[in-house]
Amino acid sequence: MRAKEQMQRIMTALKLTVNEKKTRIARVPKESFDFLGYTIGRCYSPRTGRAFIGTWPSRKSMRVICEEIAALTRRHCYRKPASAIVGEINRKLQGWGNYFCLGAVSRAYRAVDNQARHRLRQWLNGKHRSRGVHPVRYPATYLHEKLGLLQLERRTRNLPWATA
């Protein structure tokens, strides 16, 4: 309880208010917590298997970016050209990727990349009315090389701290 009281005093001195409903004491090695879109908790090194305290994008932040991508590829956007949709998606991905570039992000980037490809394929199939039993499939090479869809996972390939 002393830690919470000490934090209250510091926050009062800084003229900040503390949300009592959200504030809790977390025992970091045993449990993780979310802060500013990151989850902070125990990670394991893929090379050595040793445990360390690390960060990764929270489930909520991943859900939010996936919902934003879905909003950009709704039916009401069929009249827009594909280049405009890809440009909007790329801006979202770039901003999200720049914010979440620290910690073990490879799995999160892979999940967001998969969602972006999936939603863009759905949008293209709907726009070109290729639904039905055998809709036209757009391979990842077409989406990334021809349309220019950003691939977050490639950005971390050479960064040693981002592999998980």
The span from the CA of 90 to the CA of 152, in Å, is: 10
Q: Residues 48-88: pLDDT tens digits?
A: 989 988 899 999 999 999 999 999 999 998 899 999 999 99
pLDDT for res 47? 84
Question: If you search the block for the tokens 């090194």, which residue do you land on?
Answer: 45
Nearest to 41 by CA among 29, 50, 26: 29
Residue linked to tokens 């934090």 = 7
Measured CA to CA in angstroms, residue 143 lies from 28, 82, 86 at distances of 41, 10, 9
Q: Helices (DSSP H) in the chain: which residue ranges?
A: 2-13, 59-72, 82-99, 106-127, 140-141, 152-155
CB 39 within 8 A of CB 56: yes
d(CA 96, CA 57) in angstroms, rounded, equals 10
The percent of residues above 70 in pLDDT, for the chain, comes to: 90
